[in-house]
Amino acid sequence: MKKLFFLTGFSVAMAFLEAAVVVYLRHLYYPQGFSFPLNPLLATQILSVEWSREIATLIMLLCAGYLAGSTRMERFFYFLFSFGVWDIFYYVWLKVILNWPESLFTWDLLFLIPFAWTGPVLAPVVCSVTMIVFAIVFLSVKAKCETEPEVKPFMTILFLTGAILILTTFLKDFFLLLYRGGFFKQLSSVLSSPAFTDAVQHYIPKNYLWEVFIAGELFLCVSFFLFVFPCLKQRKIKK
């Protein structure tokens, strides 16, 4: 629990730094408050820097997880814990500083790698809560289990299916925007394309695929339960 305490402190502080950067960006590019459609100037002027910043953030969270764990599985779940806390407190800090989002159903620009992820705030928050719960359960079970749970191929398939379904809900809108506009053929120069700029200026997300998201969460939960069940069963027998 000591490790989780310090990881929480690290992730909360990281979340504040992330929120602070977003406050500056919104002051520059969305002085009236963030909303869709997106400001195309953001993409053309600092997109490469934003990509690098997002990668750097992930590297820092991965390093924190690596240092906290002693096995690959522990490191993975410590990373999930750090990511979940960081993501939730990112929105907490934005609410404190900007009084944004207005609600959990407010749409947000989530990530920019490889292209824009969009979705209601509630969706990434649910994902983050799931990550935190998975991490705490795994670490608790592992501490009282003789051997570390084993990942079976069918568990991996279930997990990847769930992850892909959830990613689809975030990437679907912008993927369709790129596809319908024929921009995949000119990805290297798409940011300088007037047609792409016009498409971005008119892009307003409306319908989120909640059914697909829930299905993805169910796949993740089932795969995780099957993963830790042998240890839970082992503990029950020992009692």
The mean per-residue pLDDT over the stretch 158-184 comes to 90
- 128 burial (CB, 10 Å; 0-12 / 13-18 / 19+) is buried
Q: What is the pLDDT of residues 126-151, one digit of tens each?
A: 999 999 999 999 999 888 886 788 89
Percentage of the chain beyond pLDDT 90 is 63
> Whole domain around residue 22: which residue ranges?
2-238
Q: Which residues pair with 120 in a beta bridge?
A: 107
Please state, in angstroms and rounded to a whole number, the distance separating the CA atoms of residues 97 and 57. 21
**What are 95's two structure tokens?**
């609410």
Number of structural domains the chain divides into: 1
